[in-house]
């Protein structure tokens, strides 16, 4: 049962988007089947949560590492979940696996009986969690990462770093491939192999990050949709539900700033 430590009113959802990290902490109910463009670490902030990977049976865990492109469902029943995405500009899922303890593998996902839940719960309970998230997440990843050797092709890593450094740019796949010395077809093959999702899907994930960042900055959903290049709010709402398995209104409205 979720029993929040703070006692001066309900805590609103918390989002943080910066550099190679995206973070959410807040209560969730049910997220239908969805997949992400980046690997994600999930942490039940106050207890276990229910998870279904692909067509496997439902199971419970306290932490999980879901690779990019892995379809999964979540059932929290209203309890808070910490969700940390790490862009694959240098490392793959190896950079997140040290955050899980007592692991087992199911259909490509790694599920833990325990793990590094306390730092994320502390951020959720921190009234200034929005401003504290950057340093706290950097510390957490530094702990996880006595980093493994890079596992991603250096050319793909350079392309991803360019996309992260120039969030408003929308280079074509041909231009991006040429900038790292590859043909478009070879680039797309290597990208899918390294990241786990096709380039087009990953670029869609980056556009979603821009929209979430715009909401964090104070834009309404319509303004955020336009700022990120969506045709309209309905297009943004549709892609948000496809990306996260639930409506944007459940986790993006009334967030902390």
DSSP string over 207-257: HHHHHHHHHHTT--HHHHHHHTT-SSHHHHHHHHHHHHSS-GGGTTTT---
Q: State whether 57 and 136 are in the same domain.
A: yes
Q: State whether 108 and 183 are in the same domain.
A: no
- Tell me the pLDDT band of 1, cut-offs 50, 70 and 90: very low
Q: pLDDT at residue 4 above 80? A: no
Q: Are strands 109-115 and 63-66 parallel, antiparallel or unpaired?
A: antiparallel
Per-residue pLDDT tens digits for 52-88: 999 999 999 999 999 999 999 999 999 999 999 998 8
- Tell me the pLDDT band of 219, cut-offs 50, 70 and 90: very high
CB-neighbour burial class of residue 196 (10 A; exposed 0-12, middle 13-18, buried 19+):
buried
Q: State whether 91 and 115 are in the same domain.
A: yes
Q: State whether 211 and 96 are in the same domain.
A: no
Q: pLDDT at residue 225 above 80? A: yes
Given 144, 166, 192, the domain boundary residue is 144
* Domain carrying residue 114: 14-144
Q: How many domains are contained in the chain?
A: 2
Given 98, 123, 144, the domain boundary residue is 144
- The H or E element spanning position 135 is helix 129-144
Given 144, 166, 181, the domain boundary residue is 144
Per-residue pLDDT tens digits for 39-57: 999 999 999 999 999 999 9
- Secondary structure percentages of the chain, helix, strand, coil, to 5: 40, 25, 40
Query: What's the rounded Cα separation, in Å, for the pair 201 and 48?
Result: 30
Task: Find where tokens 């959720």 sit.
Answer: 124
Query: What's the rounded Cα separation, in Å, for the pair 60 and 110?
Result: 12
CATH number of residue 92's parent domain: 2.60.120.10
Q: State whether 54 and 131 are in the same domain.
A: yes
Per-residue pLDDT tens digits for 140-199: 888 876 555 557 888 999 999 999 888 777 888 999 999 999 999 999 999 999 898 999
Tokens of 96: 């997140």
In a domain, 7, yes or no: no
CA angle, residues 121, 127, 131, in degrees to nearest 5: 90
Q: State whether 140 and 197 are in the same domain.
A: no
In a domain, 6, yes or no: no
């Amino acid at each position: 049962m979720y029993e929040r430590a703070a006692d001066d009113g309900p805590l609103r959802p918390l989002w943080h988007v910066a550099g190679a990290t995206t973070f959410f902490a807040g209560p969730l109910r049910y997220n239908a089947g969805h997949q992400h463009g980046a690997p994600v670490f999930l942490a039940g902030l106050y207890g276990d949560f229910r998870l279904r990977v692909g067509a496997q049976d439902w199971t419970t865990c306290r932490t999980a590492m879901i690779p990019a492109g892995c379809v999964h469902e979540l059932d929290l029943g209203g309890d808070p979940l910490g969700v940390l995405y790490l862009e694959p500009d240098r490392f793959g899922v190896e950079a997140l696996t040290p955050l899980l303890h007592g692991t087992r593998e199911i259909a490509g996902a790694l599920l833990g009986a325990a793990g590094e839940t306390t730092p994320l719960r502390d951020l959720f309970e921190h009234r200034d969690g929005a401003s504290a998230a950057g340093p706290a997440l950097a510390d957490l990843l530094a702990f996880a990462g006595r980093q493994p050797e890079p596992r991603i092709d250096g050319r793909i890593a350079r392309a991803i770093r360019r996309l992260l450094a120039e969030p408003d740019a929308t280079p074509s796949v041909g231009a991006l491939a040429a900038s790292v010395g590859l043909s478009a077809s070879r680039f797309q093959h290597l990208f899918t192999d390294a990241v786990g999702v096709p380039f087009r899907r990953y670029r869609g994930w980056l556009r979603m990050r821009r929209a979430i960042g715009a909401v964090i900055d104070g834009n309404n959903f319509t303004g955020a949709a336009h700022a990120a290049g969506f045709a309209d709010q309905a297009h943004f709402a549709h892609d948000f539900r496809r990306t996260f398995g639930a409506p944007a209104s459940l986790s993006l409205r009334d967030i902390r700033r």
